[in-house]
Amino acid sequence: MRKDESIQLNRVAAMWTVAAVRGRFPDAKLGGVEATEQGFYCDVDVSRPLTEVDVAAIEAEARRLLERDGAEPDYRQIDRADALRLFERRNEPWRAEWARELAPEGALTCIELGGSVDVYAGEPPRVAPGVPAFKLLHAAGAYWRGDSANPVLQRIAGVAFAERAELNDYLAWQEEARQRDHRKLGKQLELFLFAEEAPGMPFYLPNGAIVRNELETLSRAYLRKYGYEEVRTPMMMERGLWEQSGHWEHYRDNMYFSEMERRSLAVKPMNCPGHMLMFKHKLRSYKELPIRYAEFGQVHRHEFSGALNGLLRVRTFCQDDAHVFVAPDQIASEALRAIELVKEVYAVFGFEYSLELSTRPADSMGSDEQWAEAEAALERVLKAAGLPYRVNPGDGAFYGPKIDFHIKDALRRSHQCATIQLDFQMPEKFGLTYVDERNERRTPIVIHRAVYGSIDRFLGILIEHYAGAFPLWLAPVQAIVIPVADRHAAYAEEVRERLVDAGIRAEADARNEKLGLKVRDAQLRKIPYVAVVGDREMEAGLLQVRERGQERQSALGVSDFIAAAAGRIRRREA
């Protein structure tokens, strides 16, 4: 199905939803309505928050109206003044505000369906959408126009398809996504928690800290391979520094501030300015370039509470940040090195990815000439790398264009993680220089580079990608030894100690519980290896080992098991 047909199907489903809301809540007033290829939502002003029961009843009413009146809407073009009069006559203040202030320039279309009337931006469709198979997914509060100073409306979200089979496939995908939800699995696997005392700021439990540390260990191995030096910068720095860097002008609404000895300080949202000061602290020669600084820096950024989403959207996170200071003739080679680094790290996880070249945004700093040079340089790098990419106009950083990596998880969802950004602006703002081969002062260029992006967000993606069943090298507990009876507990503990001495994260479960219950608990914890020991194993120095996801057990000598498991861990195999 073409994109425009899919959008029209979702728009028709949204209209029937609005008609059903008005049928059940006669005083309801319509706010925003949005239909895309991925689904639809409608914001309504009703007397109380909508419950799951309300959503089910609205969906049933929408289906009844659809069956009674059919699915062919009446479309006609309308000018802005007529749209405004329509909404004012129907006492629709939110839609009137949309027509008066928010509607983009261009054609407007009036759509009438089953007594429900609305106006949207764009021309009437060229095709009849047919009868949609649709489903209302949920309702939640949403600020009008996304502004917390405005009233909260009720947002009803749904999705529509041309065929029932497509809808069923989508709902099955949604259910799989719910089962993989990192917030649910994070609690089940005791990885992290959130508390009201620090909203939007994760607390990592021992299991979660192990996984994070493994991710950092992996990253550090590649930092060494690619010649980076690890640094650390302060959590708070003077406001003037952020004014100098450009963050104050472009980013201050997302920053946190404090006062000390009558000096205004800002909690860092990024590591860049600190690395600029490190470069500047002494005279530099061209022979030192490139200089590669890397930092696992904890940063803080203000997010509205409604935007928070587990580890995927938080107020503090660890950025695996790096800044490479280069001379102009080193841009291509260092950007290519950064691409190779990202490719190697993502290969460990088996991620597929696509690339985007994001160009100058409207809110940016620097000259047209610098931006043109920077964008052309990154385009040459992508072509030299032989990687397919698409251009994402206007989505660059405020200081420079960037190459973004979008990884695809097990459910084929796309996540933007790694980034390589080219910056001519910040070195100039900080007055950075190096002495070239002619003994003249030159301004370096900076390549901003991240692989995970946010380690916290990357961990959330991994939890959902693996459905909590981490590969062996990354699993918080890699093996558990379960004695059949109390008399086998000492042997189980002896085996556990041998595993730990070999570098394997292992536990022994000697609880006074039935064997089946302990095995089931280990499976729920998604531990890669479950080793059971009884009389025969104790006498022969064996383990009955079952690997996660497999039914059959294998009798292995302890030394043989250790060699096999340790080898897989060392090679970072699944």
Tell me, letter by letter, the H, E, C secondary structure of 350-405: CCEEEEEEECCCCCCCCCHHHHHHHHHHHHHHHHHHCCCEEEECCCCECCECEEEE
Q: Tell me, yes or no, if 42 is annotated catalytic.
A: no
Residue 51 CB-half CA count within 13 A: 2
Angle at 247 between CA 241 and CA 251, to 5 degrees: 140
- Strands, E assignment, 184-278: 192-193, 203-204, 229-230, 236-238, 256-260, 263-267
User: Which is catalytic among the residues 212, 323, 488, 496?
Assistant: 323
User: Which is catalytic among the residues 301, 415, 488, 568?
Assistant: 301
Q: Tell me, yes or no, if 448 is annotated catalytic.
A: yes
Q: Tell me, yes or no, if 321 is annotated catalytic.
A: yes
User: Which is catalytic among the residues 402, 406, 415, 457?
Assistant: 402
Could you give the CA distance from residue 449 to residue 292 in angstroms, rounded to a whole number?
Answer: 10
User: Which is catalytic among the residues 43, 154, 239, 319?
Assistant: 319
Q: Is 18 in a helix, a strand, or coil?
A: helix
User: Which is catalytic among the residues 42, 272, 318, 417?
Assistant: 272
Q: Tell me, yes or no, if 154 is annotated catalytic.
A: no
User: Which is catalytic among the residues 448, 449, 457, 525?
Assistant: 448
Q: Tell me, yes or no, if 74 is annotated catalytic.
A: no
User: Which is catalytic among the residues 43, 54, 118, 321?
Assistant: 321
Q: Tell me, yes or no, if 536 is annotated catalytic.
A: no
Question: Which residues, in sequence order, are CB contacts of 198 under 8 Å at separation 6+?
Answer: none
Paired tokens of 4: 């425009």
Q: Is 335 in a helix, a strand, or coil?
A: helix
Q: Under a CB-based contact definition with an 8 Å cutoff, are residues 542 and 556 in contact?
A: yes
Question: Which residues, in sequence order, are CB contacts of 409 under 8 Å at separation 6+?
Answer: 351, 415, 461, 464, 465
Could you give the CA distance from residue 33 to residue 156 in angstroms, rounded to a whole number?
Answer: 10
With b for 16 or more beta-carbon neighbours within 10 A and e for fewer, the 422-432 pattern comes to: bbbbbbbbbeb
Q: Tell me, yes or no, if 409 is annotated catalytic.
A: no
Active site amino acids: 272, 301, 319, 321, 323, 402, 448
